[in-house]
Chain A
Amino acid sequence: MSRLTLHDLCLSFGALKVTDHVSLAVEPGEIHAIIGPNGAGKTTLIAQLSGQLTPDSGRIELDGSDITHLSPPARVHRGLARSFQITSVLPGFSVLENVALAVQARSGSSFRFFGRVAEEQPLNDAARAVLDATDLGDRLHVLAGALSHGEHRRLELAIALATDPSVLLLDEPLAGIGGAEAERFVEQLRARKGQLTMVLIEHDMDAVFALADRVSVLVYGRIIATGTPDQIRSDPAVRAAYLGQEEAS
């Protein structure tokens, strides 16, 4: 059984079809990249998968059960987490608090009014472990709002990972970072390959072809091709619609 299945999703804003009969099956453990030119509807597709938007028609299944009409928090509890293209952290919280809150979401009730959450060692330990793995272990007590852009991107990933997902939706995780920092980031994702299913939206083609098991190409809300990186690279339709354009520019 596929981990995440999209059946014939459609979504329009007025006359504009942003998602046009999209069907896709993401297999357990794979990194499935979705690429496409700007305005192809990648971010709105992620928003439908994570529940911020509801499709007009079609069905989304996670491990075989229908999640199309579940709220975003309910989907997180089923094991579906996301990162945002535009960094979305809690700026007034420390790095540790940001991640500890994500751990808290999956460990016990949060309708507890008296105990000091800052002193809950299990939460802090789990958060530290995730932060160590994302190279933020030495920035625990810095306010998230004061981080550099690259650190922001890693915190964004750390928060999503801390919810302990089985499927991770990554919306342009490398946006705005480059060089050695981007390479390190790619390494961190690669280290989780196989354990975690990922849907990756990314503009950096080097990263996509280095990471992805399979690639789907989205153009004007439709998937025009799905295949291995090699198949996609050599697909004439893809080259015409997208890659060619990229090379020309």
Chain B
Amino acid sequence: MTAPRIHGRVVAALMLFAGFALLPLVAWLADDPFLVVIGARILAYGIAALALDLILGFGAMVSFGHAAYLGFGAYAVAILSRFGITDLGLHMAAAVVVSAGFALITGAISLRTRGVYFIMITLAFGQMVYFFFTSLSAFGGDDGTGLRQRSTLLGSSVLEHDLVFFYVTLAVLMALFWLAHRIVGSRFGRVLTGIRENPTRIEAIGFAPRRYQLTAFVISGCMTAIAGVLLANQAEFVSPAFISWHRSGELIFMVVLGGAGTLSGAIAGAVTMIVLEEWLEVFTEHWKLVFGIILVLMVLYSPRGITGIIERLMRGRS
């Protein structure tokens, strides 16, 4: 039965959202305003992971270049702000338009291939974008550039308040989760999931897989770009580091960590990864070493991520 499974995941997501909504209260009680800052970063990455899960978990497309869309989002903020356009909506619109175009072209080429080729081609296109932004000397080249101010919302600079920014980001995440959830349960989503299950069969009942995959690829790229807009605002800084292939790898890690193909799992993966990162950083500057070991062990011993571990525990108990 698939119905209760999906229902359970929505409940999981709602619990996550409730937890997020209470975070500022916890930060206030603990007298640690930094929690809200980290919280906003987690939410932004949650959006990116959610977007990637849509194609990785449901469409079986392992895109290793998704950080490029974070870059389009981040640089949309930096570039438009430089020209005096500071509206958040316009930043998002520009990021989405550019990302849709890029996803359409590179997706069409990448989807001519499968498997390993697809992974490597998306990786290479990601690097192409990386080098493009590295070469923009007007925006700091390699080093990136700080933002003079955060995007404005309806002409007001309320987003300068970390708390407001946090709740706006949470609202965007919830809206995009709802959107992704509807897409997955729609006609389109069923075809997409079917392609993941068995592309040959999908062709043999009359669907041309590539059109659906490409559409999903574009949607996912646009959603990731919105995460990029928020991330730049959160950091008040943009640089090519947003676009490095390591970042793309981390996004994949978040999705798999939470269990691919579950949507709420992707958000949980983002939470886990960033909390882990912040926590390990306290103990050692070489936290990436620990991280790498965790990654290898996870793949070797729990390929289905946290979801797999939880499911195994629950099965053991019942």
Q: Do chains A and B touch in the complex (CB under 8 A)?
A: yes
B206:A105 contact, CB within 8 angstroms = yes
Contact string against B for A residues 80-91, beta-carbon threshold 8 Å, 1 for contact and 0 otherwise: 011010001111
In the complex, which residues 181-207 of chain B have their Cβ closer than 8 Å to any Cβ of chain A? 182-183, 185-191, 193-194, 197-198, 200-207
Contacts of A112 in B (CB 8 A): 186-188
Stretch at the interface among A3-11, A37-45, A68-76, A128-136: A68-76
- Residue among B3, B185, B198, B205 having the largest count of chain A Cβ atoms under 10 Å: B205
- The one of B182, B183, B201, B215 that contacts A159, using a Cβ cutoff of 8 Å: B201
Residue A118 CB within 8 A of the other chain: yes
Contact string against A for B residues 158-191, beta-carbon threshold 8 Å, 1 for contact and 0 otherwise: 0000000000000000000000001101111111
A110:B212 contact, CB within 8 angstroms = yes
- Residue among B185, B201, B206 having the largest count of chain A Cβ atoms under 10 Å: B206
Residue B2 CB within 8 A of the other chain: yes
B152 to chain A, nearest CB (A): 30
In the complex, which residues 130-155 of chain A have their Cβ closer than 8 Å to any Cβ of chain B? 141, 143
Size bracket, chain A contacts: 35 or more
Assess A88 versus B201: contact at CB under 8 Å? Given A97-B190, A117-B190, A163-B206. Answer: yes
B208:A111 contact, CB within 8 angstroms = no
Residue B1 CB within 8 A of the other chain: yes
Contact string against A for B residues 1-35, beta-carbon threshold 8 Å, 1 for contact and 0 otherwise: 11100000000000000000000000000000000
Size bracket, chain B contacts: 20 to 34
Assess A88 versus B197: contact at CB under 8 Å? Given A94-B1, A112-B187, A113-B183. Answer: no
Chain B facing A: main interface SS: helix
A86 to chain B, nearest CB (A): 10
B204:A118 contact, CB within 8 angstroms = no
A111:B205 contact, CB within 8 angstroms = no
Query: What residue in chain B is nearest A108 (Cβ atoms)?
Result: B187
In the complex, which residues 202-227 of chain B have their Cβ closer than 8 Å to any Cβ of chain A? 202-208, 212, 215
- The one of B197, B208, B215 that contacts A91, using a Cβ cutoff of 8 Å: B197
Docked pose: A173 CA to B92 CA in angstroms = 53
Residue A101 CB within 8 A of the other chain: yes
B205:A118 contact, CB within 8 angstroms = no
Contact string against B for A residues 54-84, beta-carbon threshold 8 Å, 1 for contact and 0 otherwise: 0000000000000000011110110001101
Q: Which residues from chain B sit less than 8 Å from chain A, CB to CB?
A: 1-3, 182-183, 185-191, 193-194, 197-198, 200-208, 212, 215
